[in-house]
Amino acid sequence: MISFQNLNKYYKKNHVIKGITLSINGPGIVALLGPNGSGKTTLLKSFLGMVLPSSGDILFNGESVLKQYSYRKQISYLSQISRFPDNLTVNELISFMKEIKPGKTREHQFIQMFNLQQELEKKMGSLSGGTRQKVNITLALMHDDPLIILDEPSTGLDPLSLKELKKFITEERERGKLIVITTHILSLAEALADDIIFLLEGHVFFNGSMSALLNDQGEINLENAIAHILKSTKKVKDAEDIKI
């Protein structure tokens, strides 16, 4: 469904994405992981048209997305930091999003899931951080799109709300969708993901199933496997520095 072809992105002299060639196909849940600065958000924003790559191409369903916009109608996207006008109510924002992106919506499913009934006439500026995140998720996922991209979806959620979100994500996979998740909560990735893509310093270090990653690293859980990767690469880098 998504194909990155020799993608590069520079921010002045900083080479953030380094010749990435990668395919992400569904249905299934793919966790895009990596330490801060590894290029995860830049890669996703390049696909979404929010960042222009320095070179290379990006395909969606076999067609280039560069300088195109209509393909985004098929994507539900939750950004890591979502900001909406503080003076608008939740209901006003829902209506606004319906006007921007027409079509059948399912906001009532999320209103019930997150118990937002009493929050609908409140202004965004008066809501707690956790409630804002619930509204953000509602706005991002209320359209029934074939591709879902979630950037740090668990931020600010209480355990019950997170449990409901995980259930929803799993059900969407069963409906044949592709869901791409970035998260620093490795237990969330381990509980949901079918496949793991691990970025390190702008390169794809690993791309495969969860079981293959654990076998490759000789570990029993994702947290230990990621820690093993980071320790190994640090040792290699330290050895190269010594040689220099």
Tens of pLDDT, residues 164-185: 999 999 999 999 999 999 999 9
Instruction: Report pLDDT digits (tens) over 63-93.
Output: 999 999 999 999 999 998 888 899 999 999 9
Q: Which domains does the chain possess?
A: 2-82+145-243 (3.40.50.300)
Query: Residue 53: is the preceding peptide bond cis (ω within 30°)?
Result: no
Token pair recorded at residue 134 = 């619930």
pLDDT for residue 241 is more than 80:
no
**Which residue blocks in 80-199 are alpha helix, DSSP H?**
90-100, 107-113, 129-141, 159-174, 186-192
CB burial of 134-144 (b: ≥16 within 10 Å; e: otherwise) equals bbbbbbbbbbe
| Residue from 28, 33, 95, 9 nearest 223 by CA | 33
Query: What pLDDT is stored for residue 233 in this prediction?
Result: 81
